[in-house]
């Protein structure tokens, strides 16, 4: 009874939904086939809400109702009736429990946003009884969500909850005080979570897309109703757009750092079309701790920061000093990225240093993760300090040098990386060093094994000459050569997790060395012509 209250008499407005919709998915749902969270379930005509979900990812997607957009895209009465029947089914089966996965704040906020956005098709042709049940359920969920919000940690989930509650204050009849209160709470999240350079405090580039996808319709709804938007919204969103441009590769795709995964080009463009800021991407994000080097049509993005603290690190990856390289329409060197559809084992592997284009020492990761069910998968040790400086740049090159202490406590060693990009955009020069904490070279008896990995995007073909030169060849004929001074690179099998179709086989270039014998390795990536075919 704690969440009992009145039922609103109407919905005031329905915000737009910027997510990509597919009418063919609506046909599958009508046939009882639900493809969500990387899994397909055939209900055989039964209720999907009365079946055991095959995975938490499937359940979150099902109960989040984002799939209503596909019913709207179908644009016919049968799809609308099906959408209404499924919403009514959820209200009957789940709507009164106020517990379990379907009432977790991230799922609940997603469902409220979806119900508000797609209420026109859910209510089209509805009788008075369903209309009242629908509004009563929304009011109950909103009151519950408002009650639990205060106890949520400061993270992207709470930001989205604040967006959902702000949207509720506009979509349902509400007093001016309620609207102002929701706006103030949302302003507080901009202050707490959006850094001065526009990055999110989780350091995950994908969070920017997720939040902007919901913030843009909310902002437009304020405008449409003649209401004053939250004071921090305009400036905060402008900073977020600038940060999103920073993380875009030469081909428009998103860099894979700290939990980011594959994003469809349509979804990225669906957000960026509303970007009213101007200018090129920053050279550095000093608060989010990333570097970006651009020359010609080459783009190099590097992670040069420590992990966020506490709950914000729940999706952080051990990829300090990793980089990605793109040129033209192709991504050549990447990180493995987080799986697009949640897969527990893949997600765990993707967080390891070995899944990033950087150096591992003694096959360890530069971060330690908690495996406690109480704490969650947060960072508990490893990188604490990263120092970053610019190189003595000549007119013909750009670059940076960065050092992290992720191995200082376990191995008494530091990793330093220097990267230069020639202003022609035709060559990347890299140097990796292993140092003692006093920044002197390790002694000759130090047997620590270092492995520098360069993960190759699965669309790139890889070949190797007898002299060790590795050729990275794109389908359009663009080619880069990888060479290392004094070391023979190896080509090994690899897995690229961040693909919309699921994990894909790929290749990686590996340089192995011993700290005491070779404390410094030098390598280059050089734009070149296609290698000649033998014979």
Q: What is the pTM of this model?
A: 0.93
Per-residue model confidence (pLDDT) at position 26: 94
Closest C-alpha among 393, 430, 191 to residue 283 = 393
| Euclidean distance between CA atoms 223 and 232, whole angstroms | 15
The span from the CA of 230 to the CA of 295, in Å, is 38
The tokens describing 447, both together, are: 């047997």
Look at residue 395 in the predicted model and tell me its pLDDT.
62
- CB distance 117 to 15 below 8 Å: yes
Write down the pLDDT at residue 98.
85
Predicted confidence (pLDDT) per residue in 471-482, tens digit: 999 999 999 999
Phi, psi of 385 (to 5 degrees): -135, 135
**Which has the closest alpha carbon to 525: 299, 204, 277, 278?**
299
* DSSP state, residue 297: T
Q: Which residue has the tokens 């009788």?
A: 127
Helices then strands, counting H and E runs in the chain, come out as: 14, 21
The DSSP symbol for 468 reads S
What are the angstrom distances between the C-alpha of 356 and each of 231, 323, 495, 509? 39, 8, 11, 12
Q: Which two structure tokens, joined as six digits, stand for 97? A: 């429990």
First to last CA, the chain: 82
Q: Which two tokens stand for residue 308?
A: 């966020």
Helix, strand, or coil here: 80? helix
Instruction: Classify residue 477 as left (phi > 0), alpha (psi -120 to 50) or beta.
Output: left
- Helix, strand, coil shares of the chain, percent, nearest 5, are 35, 25, 40
The predicted pLDDT at position 122 comes to 96
Instruction: Give the alpha-carbon dihedral of 120, 123, 128, 130, to 10 degrees.
Output: -140
Closest CA to 532 of 459, 457, 471: 471
Q: What is the DSSP letter of 441?
A: P
Q: What is the pLDDT of residue 394?
A: 65
Nearest to 335 by CA among 362, 309, 307, 300: 300
pLDDT averaged over consecutive 10-residue blocks of the chain (535 residues)? 71 93 93 90 91 91 96 93 96 89 96 97 94 95 93 95 98 94 97 97 97 97 96 96 94 94 86 82 93 95 96 94 96 96 89 98 96 85 95 76 96 97 95 96 95 98 96 96 96 96 95 96 93 55
Q: Are 337 and 326 in contact (CB under 8 A)?
A: no
Instruction: Report helix, strand or coil for 140.
Output: helix
pLDDT score recorded for residue 535? 42
Residue 88 φ then ψ, to 5°: -65, -40
Reduced 3-state DSSP string for 251-275: CCCECCCCCCCCCCHHHHHHHHCCC
Q: Which of 432, 358, 427 is nearest to 397 (CA)?
A: 427
Please tell me the predicted confidence (pLDDT) of residue 197: 96
**What local confidence, expressed as pLDDT, does residue 532 receive?**
61
- How many residues are recorded in the chain? 535
CB contact at 8 A, 233 and 311: no
> How does 7-16 read in b/e, with b if 16+ C-beta sit within 10 Å?
ebeebeebbe
Contact 111, 141 (CB under 8 A): yes
Question: Could you read off the pLDDT of 281-290 as tens digits, one per residue?
Answer: 789 999 999 9
Q: What is the pLDDT of residue 1?
A: 56
Number of neighbouring beta carbons within 10 Å of residue 418: 18
What are 473's strand-pairing partners? 461, 479
């Amino acid at each position: 009874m704690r969440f009992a209250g009145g039922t609103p008499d109407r919905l005031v407005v329905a915000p737009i939904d910027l997510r990509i919709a597919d009418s063919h998915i609506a046909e599958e749902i009508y046939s009882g086939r639900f493809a969500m969270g990387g899994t397909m379930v055939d209900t055989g005509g039964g209720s999907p809400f009365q079946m055991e979900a095959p995975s938490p990812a499937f359940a979150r997607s099902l109960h989040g109702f984002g799939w209503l957009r596909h019913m709207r895209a179908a644009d016919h009465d049968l799809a609308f009736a099906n959408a209404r029947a499924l919403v009514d089914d959820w209200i009957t089966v789940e709507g009164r429990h106020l517990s379990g996965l379907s009432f977790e704040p991230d799922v609940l906020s997603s469902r409220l946003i979806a119900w508000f956005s797609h209420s026109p098709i859910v209510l089209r042709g509805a009788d008075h009884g369903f209309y009242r049940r629908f509004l009563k359920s929304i009011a109950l969920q909103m009151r519950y969500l408002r009650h639990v919000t205060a106890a949520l940690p400061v993270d992207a989930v709470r930001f989205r909850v604040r967006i959902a509650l702000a949207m509720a204050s506009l979509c349902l009849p509400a007093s001016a005080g309620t609207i102002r209160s929701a706006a103030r709470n949302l302003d507080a999240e901009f202050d707490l979570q959006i850094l001065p350079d526009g990055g999110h405090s989780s350091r995950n580039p994908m969070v920017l897309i997720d939040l902007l996808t919901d913030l843009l319709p909310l902002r437009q709804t304020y405008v449409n109703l003649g209401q004053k938007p939250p004071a921090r919204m305009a400036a905060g969103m402008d900073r977020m757009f600038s940060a999103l441009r920073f993380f875009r590769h030469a081909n428009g795709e998103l860099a894979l750092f700290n939990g980011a995964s594959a994003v469809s080009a349509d979804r990225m463009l669906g957000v960026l079309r509303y970007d009213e800021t101007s200018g090129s991407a920053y050279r550095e994000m000093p608060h989010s701790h990333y570097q970006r080097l651009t020359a010609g049509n080459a783009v190099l993005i590097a992670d040069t920061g420590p992990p966020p603290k506490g709950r914000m690190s729940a999706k952080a990856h051990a990829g300090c000093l990793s980089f990605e390289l793109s040129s033209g329409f192709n991504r050549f060197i990447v990180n493995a990225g987080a799986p697009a559809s949640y897969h527990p084992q893949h997600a765990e592997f993707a967080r390891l240093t070995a899944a990033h284009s950087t150096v591992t020492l003694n096959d360890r990761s530069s971060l330690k993760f908690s495996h406690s069910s109480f704490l969650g998968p947060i960072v508990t040790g490893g990188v604490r300090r990263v120092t970053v400086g610019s190189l003595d740049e000549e007119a013909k090159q750009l670059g940076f040098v960065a050092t992290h202490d992720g191995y200082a406590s376990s191995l008494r060693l530091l990793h330093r990386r220097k990267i230069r990009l020639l202003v022609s955009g035709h060559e990347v020069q890299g140097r990796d060093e292993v140092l003692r904490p006093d920044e002197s070279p390790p002694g000759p008896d130090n047997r620590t094994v270092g492995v520098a990995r360069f993960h190759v995007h699965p669309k790139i073909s890889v070949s190797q000459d007898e002299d060790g030169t590795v050729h990275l060849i794109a389908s359009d004929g663009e080619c880069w050569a990888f060479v290392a001074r004094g070391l023979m690179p190896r080509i090994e099998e690899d897995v690229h997790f961040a693909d919309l179709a699921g994990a894909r086989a790929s290749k990686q270039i590996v340089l192995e060395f011993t700290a005491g014998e070779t404390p410094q390795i030098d390598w280059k990536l050089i734009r070149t012509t296609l290698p000649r075919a033998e014979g």
